Structure 1
Amino acid sequence: MNDRPARHGTTARHSGGAGREPRVLRSALILTAAVVALAVQAACARSVDGSVPEQGIFAGNGATRTACIETECPAPFATCEGRSGLCTVDLSSDVRHCGSCDTACLSTSSLTPWTWVCSEGQCRLACEPSHADCNGLESDGCETSVRSDPANCGACGNVCADGVVCWRGACGCPSGFTQCGDDCVRLDSDNENCGACGSVCTAPASDTDPRWSCGPGITPPHTEWTCSNASCDLQCAPEFGDCNKDFCGDGCETSLANDPANCGACGHACTAGQKCQHGTCLCPPGTTMCGGICVDYLTDPANCGDCMAECPGPPSSSGKGGPTCVGGKCGYVCFPGFADCDGSIENGCEANLQTSQHHCGSCGTSCDVANGQPCVRGTCLTKPCEEPVLN
């Protein structure tokens, strides 16, 4: 009697037992391989916090490859001794680890017109705008002042004509200025070069000089010889004014620095409640005198709502964030790339979202710390998963 066809999901019966064992064994091997593949894929698909991402095992279109944990730092990042965290050093720009860990660029004094920077993993000279490295020697840094060197005026190799001064990075003097020696001056107001180069503005030697406007040798109070309109004459000293128009009688009698009726200029009166300090009426509307300065209680974090009422938290000089004062109420704002993940104002924005394994990109987004997964540029480092090998 012939065997009946096997039903779906069942095994066909045969008269002989020899043909059944290889088929059963083959099915078992296929099932085992499938289970192993699913386990590998599930491990690869597990997200950084241990949960399975929305796409599950499959990445789409039947593909099984998903992101797996990567522990090697991508260029140009590295993990260097003495710096906390993994892959937190940028070897392309870190002056202490330039190109490789512990390769430090030279340090310079704050008095020198240059500094060393790390650019593309190489230590390079960075000159201030007023100087340049025209001889190409690193030993003397940016040795040339391009603001005053006629052989390198404004830039290395830019030579001024013979006898022409290099002034503020340009050959020759601008309109309204005259070259006196190696300098450009205004002859109409320079006390050392009044009307002509080298003509110093001082009291006339002769009593018959008509510039003695109040009589020979008479110098009224708070006056001095000043160059104005290329002429040297008696005028009010700085911060004083002749407000009563009696120049030869009492000179420049009014202190423009602290007179609230003549603050900064004759006739410029401060409003009620204001003081005149250094020629300025204080305090301007919307501000209040506090500790000798004018402050705005609505916006000043050091005086928020009241004098000396300082908002809590690390100052903005920390580079991570800083206190704010809005409408007289304190707050705290984090700079881009940082966050206050522990909710404590005392340590401010303590989390670096670019490098923190526990707060990678956002508070609470944790990388696989146990397996050494670093956070690089706000993303937990991953790599493509290897396809399972079936024998």
Structure 2
Amino acid sequence: MRQLPRLLILACFTAFIVAACSIDSKGTLTDSPDGSVAADGGGGFGGVSGECFVGAKVCDGKCVSESDPATGCGQGACEPCNAPNAVAKCTGDLCDLGDCQPGFANCNGNTGDGCEVELDTNPLNCGACGNDCTVKGPTWIVCKGGECKQSDCPTGEADCDQDEICETNITNDVNNCKLCGVQCSFANAAASCVNSSCTMGSCDAGYADCNNQDIDGCEINTQTDTDNCGGCNTQCQSTNAVTECKNGKCSPSCANGWGDCDGNPNNGCETPLTTVNDCGACHTKCTAAPAGGTAACQGSCTFTCGGGLTKCGNACRNLTNDVNNCNACGNKCPAAPAGGTAVCQNGSCTFTCGGGLTKCGNACINTSGNDVNNCGGCGTKCTAAPPGGTPACASGSCTFTCGGGLTKCGNACIDTNGSDVNNCGGCGTQCTTTVQNATPACSSGTCTFTCNSGLTKCGNACFDVQTDPNHCGSCPNVCNPAHVETTECKSGSCDYTTCSTGYDDCDSNRTNGCETTLGTDQNCLSCGDQCTGGKHCKSNGCHYN
């Protein structure tokens, strides 16, 4: 029950310690300028920067677990649990025993001296707790291998090593006091055997017997116990602080938000570290503030903004018109479209258009230019175009353009380089002709003519190449058969009526006329009329001379 006040005091300041602990790369707590405790990371908690975790406490300048027997159990203890011959554990805020080492047992039920009995040698607990060898008789004072043995030694002596020599004085042997194997041991204190009774001597340096009970020895570490700091019942107390006991002296750690600014430990941590004169640390004055702001302390020096302004980082901003902090700090208005400028209006991001442009949805448009979707006004879309044309906008009015080599002629797209006789070579250029038996035409943008059906164009006139002897079968073909009476053209081939006198058509090719001269020995009166047998051709046939 003696530990309860200490736990209550520590619990009252647990929140202050946890809030003040920050951990460095080694897990060591350091005193902050404001009197709080700061840590330098690492240790058993992974080197995390920040406060001690929930379930942790400060021991020797480090954040450690509240439930690690190596650093004591509970918030108020940092001394390792004492568990001789056993595995220590924490049960709540108290040190407790786990399993005993093989061959040892906790026969007195006291956790302070661990598993104090060695069952192989202790005659009062031989082989098991409570197995007292002496109940068998006054000579049964030896336990060996967990079995009771008789001794025939004189009173005050015993054969504890079973070598048949009474070598042990059980009236003053600290390891065999009154009985073989009965060891005198007191936690953190000297032990002796006087007249066969275990007697506790002086406490070890830094320890004290504050409950005046030998059974738990010198149970208090006066170097670290805040209820018995430097001596029994010397409690550490301090205003606005949690006090540790270090090396037997009280050492206060200021609660979060308080500091010992006058340097007097007797009045504790008297100064709140929340004013502009002592902000976050003693004598740290807050003076700086940006335009529109006033210096303030909020755990550290900062500022507040007035006049409808809002604190954004290191500045006071107007969230209704600040393009970089529009309606909220850091809310930067997106870039405006081409021709526009981003603005914040009444806390909403938008944009304005310049240079004669008009705001149309999310764009700045020249509605007086050539935008086919916003021609003359937002959303006015040009859609009409003749065949071969594409809708267009010119100076804010819907029109169209012609593609594919076509020319805009009025409300139409015309191929002026094609065959349009009404727009030949240019809009409105109409083709005419004076050629007989012909019709005006346009070819590749040049006026010409086409001959009527059945006629062929030869130069600048139209001819029937089926009958015209000067253009027979084709334009340049002039019929000129030899030695004929009359030349003619039949079905596009040169022909004649009759051969001239003295000539004949011996090759049957009517196109070259009557090519053969008659009156020769080979063709005397007609083709193939040969004169033979010494005859010669005369005017009336073949004759002998």
Smaller-chain TM-score bracket:
under 0.3
State the structure with bigger RCO (CA 8 A, min sep 6), 1 or 2: 1
Higher strand share: 2
Q: Given the two structures, how large is their TM-score scaled by the length of structure 2?
A: 0.21
> Higher Cα Rg: structure 1 or 2?
2
